[in-house]
């Protein structure tokens, strides 16, 4: 077990998030297949038994807190109606918190936040430089929104 002041590596944190999401999906009656680590932008394939529709899921994990997740420039591009993000806060050894959001909304909000950021100025009034980092803040109603996957699976 990790000492209180020690954190998981970024890699282990990401793996834990993916498996927590896969387990939660399985518990809710979905088939969740974890992809290989080198599949960029796609961590889980999700379907229902007997369904002809599948969803893709990208998992983003933080170790604690649940306010803001770091993303990157490719997250500004929508990957279609069947792509979702699962934002996971591991909360050390407590219960993880899950936020489910459509990929289209993530792409739009990342783009909008980034434009607002680069059109602003630093505290000293100088222009900000462009960066490949993006941020996303799920809304409170995204917490535990597993039903958004069920709705998307039907359309």
Instruction: Read off the pLDDT band of 1 (50, 70, 90).
Output: low
DSSP 132: S
Give residue-wise pLDDT tens across range 48-87. 998 889 999 999 999 987 689 999 999 999 999 999 999 9
For the chain, the DSSP string reads ---TT----HHHHHHHHHHHHHHHHHHTT-EEEEPPTT-TT--EEEE-TT-S-EEEEEEEEESS-SS-EEEEGGGGS---TTEEEEEEE--TTS--EEEEEEHHHHHHHHHHHHHHHHHSB-TTSPBPPP-SEEEE---GGGBT-THHHHHHHH-
The residue among 85, 86, 81 whose CA lies nearest residue 54 is: 81
For residue 5, the model assigns a pLDDT of: 67
Q: What is the mean pLDDT of residues 134-148?
A: 95
* 3-state secondary structure (DSSP) of residue 84: strand
Residue spans of the domains in the chain: they are 10-68+78-103+138-154
* 3-state secondary structure (DSSP) of residue 38: coil
Statement: residue 16 has pLDDT above 90: yes
When the candidates are 2.60.40.1150, 3.40.1350.10, 3.30.470.20, 2.60.40.1930, the CATH number that belongs to 10-68+78-103+138-154 is 3.40.1350.10
Instruction: Read off the pLDDT band of 41 (50, 70, 90).
Output: confident
pTM: 0.91
Question: In the predicted model, what is the mean pLDDT of the chain?
Answer: 91
Instruction: Read off the pLDDT band of 46 (50, 70, 90).
Output: very high
Give residue-wise pLDDT tens across range 84-102. 999 999 998 889 999 999 9
For residue 112, the model assigns a pLDDT of: 95
């Amino acid at each position: 077990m990790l000492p209180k002041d020690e954190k998981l590596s970024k890699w282990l944190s990401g793996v834990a998030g993916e498996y927590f999401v896969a387990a939660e999906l399985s518990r809710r009656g979905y088939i969740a297949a974890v992809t290989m680590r080198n599949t960029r932008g796609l961590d889980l394939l999700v379907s229902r038994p007997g369904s002809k529709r599948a969803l893709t899921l990208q998992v983003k994990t933080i170790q604690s807190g649940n306010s803001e997740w770091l993303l990157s420039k490719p997250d500004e591009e929508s990957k279609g109606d069947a792509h979702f993000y699962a934002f996971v806060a591991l909360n050390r050894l407590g219960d993880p918190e899950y936020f489910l959001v459509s990929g289209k909304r993530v792409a739009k909000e990342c783009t909008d936040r980034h434009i607002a950021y680069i059109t602003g100025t630093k505290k000293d009034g100088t222009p900000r430089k462009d960066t490949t980092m993006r941020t996303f803040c799920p809304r409170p109603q995204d917490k535990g929104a597993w039903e958004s996957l069920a709705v998307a699976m039907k359309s």
